[in-house]
Structure 1
Amino acid sequence: MTWSVLHIIGIIAYAASGAFVAMQAKYSFIGIFVLGLTTSYGGAVIRNLVLDIPISDIWDRQSLLIVLITLTIIIFVERKWINHWKRWGHFFDSIGLASFAIQGGLLAKSLQHDLGIIVIASMFTGVGGGMVRDLLAGRTPLALKEEIHAVLTILCAICIGSGWNSPIELTTIVVFVVFIRMLSIRYKWRLKLHKWKKLKLPFNRSEKHNNSV
């Protein structure tokens, strides 16, 4: 029961994140629906393509109804709610990240795929929709700037591959992912690649040579 509630919260969170990004970009109500639906289902579309299963399978009536109701409500809320989303958005978005990654992993597991495919399915389902959303909004995808997203989806996949499937176990995964994600935001955890900063590319040398001539 708890897992079902968390997954519903995740669906609402992803739909709302797409809607609020559209509002920040000053898109019309059409843009709100497009980005909301893209965030909620974009990752599942990519996942189904990778797993070679019909894309039409993602259109679950219950989840689609939840997304549409969420987006309709958001259209009529005042724009000041964007500030509230900025405050609490990361928390609910983390629930969405975990629940969607788990959903992708469970689907791959049910199809008897190995751990590698389970990881790919979890990753695409967890971060794929957000990446497409950010691209449509003209932003750099958040998942490409914060490696914690991918790490947490891999963690979800490993748990699913290890046989975690009971409601209590799935709820534990969600709670842990949310906890780690919020810590990473609070303390700004980043993987620093110092060597890349010192890397001199060939075209930089040619530009310097041309400038000196």
Structure 2
Amino acid sequence: MVWDVLNVIGTIAFAMSGAVIAIEAKYDIMGVYILGLITAFGGGAVRNLLTGIPIVELWQQTSLFIIALITITIVFLLPNKAIYNLKLWSIFDAIGLSAFAIQGAMYAYSIELPLLAVMFSAAITGAGGGIIRDVLAQEKPIVFRQEVYLLWAMIAGFIIGMGWAEESYQLYTLFSIILLLRIISNQYGWCLPARTFNKLQGN
């Protein structure tokens, strides 16, 4: 039940996020649908490839594809002001990250992968679609900037990999915590350490 709920939540959130970014980038209707679908399913597809799940299973998620297509259509038909407001709400990206990070960790943990693999599965499932979305939208992926983003997915993976969240209420609580942390870190501009490198100028 938790798996299915997180699947739906993450799909809607990331499909909406991808569609909004595509519209902002002035893509045509085909571009909006493609970017929305890639954002919604890209992370799971990469996870499946890296954990040995046949890629054909991706195409068997008919109900999720329908949900994503309906979501993208709604976003595309919204007035400009509503789309602008959606762009301001980073909450959709945070919801997708939280839902898919936990889902990815749950899968890796269920097949008894080691802790690092569970954390990686959480990270790539939660952030993979967003990375592909940003690249296709010609933006720097948010994952590789100073913002605290990928860390929250890895923390979710660590908690699940340690066996500290197995019951439904524990997983929903973890989802809420990761979502809240992502929203707070974005709101207050929390950053991870970073270095800059200036090229030496020749004489």
Fold agreement, TM-score > 0.5: yes
* Aligned mates of 2:45, 2:133 — CA distance in 1: 13
TM-score of the two chains, using structure 2 as the length reference? 0.91
- 1:47 aligns with 47
Q: Give the C-alpha shift of residue 96 in structure 1.
A: 1.0
Q: Is the 8 A contact 1:97 1:127 kept in 2?
A: yes
Q: Is the 8 A contact 2:147 2:186 kept in 1?
A: no
1:162 equivalenced with 2:162 (yes/no): yes
Q: Is the 8 A contact 1:16 1:70 kept in 2?
A: yes
* Aligned mates of 1:117, 1:200 — CA distance in 2: 35
Q: Which has the higher helix share?
A: 1
Q: Is the 8 A contact 2:98 2:175 kept in 1?
A: yes
* Aligned mates of 2:182, 2:126 — CA distance in 1: 13
- 2:172 aligns with 171
- 1:183 aligns with 184
* Aligned mates of 1:171, 1:28 — CA distance in 2: 37
1:81 equivalenced with 2:76 (yes/no): no
Q: Give the C-alpha shift of residue 74 in structure 1.
A: 1.8
* Aligned mates of 1:7, 1:168 — CA distance in 2: 16
TM-score of the two chains, using structure 1 as the length reference? 0.87
* Aligned mates of 1:57, 1:101 — CA distance in 2: 19
State the one-letter code of the partner of 1:23: I
Q: Deviations over 1:75-120 (max 9, x none)?
A: 22222222211232x1222111011011111111122211111111
Q: Is the 8 A contact 1:105 1:121 kept in 2?
A: yes
Q: Give the C-alpha shift of residue 37 in structure 1.
A: 0.6
Structure showing greater Rg: 1
> Mean alpha-carbon deviation: is it higher for 161-170 or for 134-143?
161-170
Q: Give the C-alpha shift of residue 165 in structure 1.
A: 2.5
Where structure 2 has 5 or more consecutive residues not aligned to the other structure, the ranges are: none
CA RMSD of aligned residues (A): 1.9
Where structure 1 has 5 or more consecutive residues not aligned to the other structure, the ranges are: none
- Pairwise mapping of residues 100-139 of structure 1 onto structure 2 (< 5 A)? 100-139=100-139
State the one-letter code of the partner of 2:125: T
* Aligned mates of 2:154, 2:81 — CA distance in 1: 35
Q: Is the 8 A contact 1:6 1:95 kept in 2?
A: no
The number of residue pairs the alignment matches comes to 201
Q: Deviations over 1:92-150 (max 9, x none)?
A: 22111011011111111122211111111111100010010111011111111145211
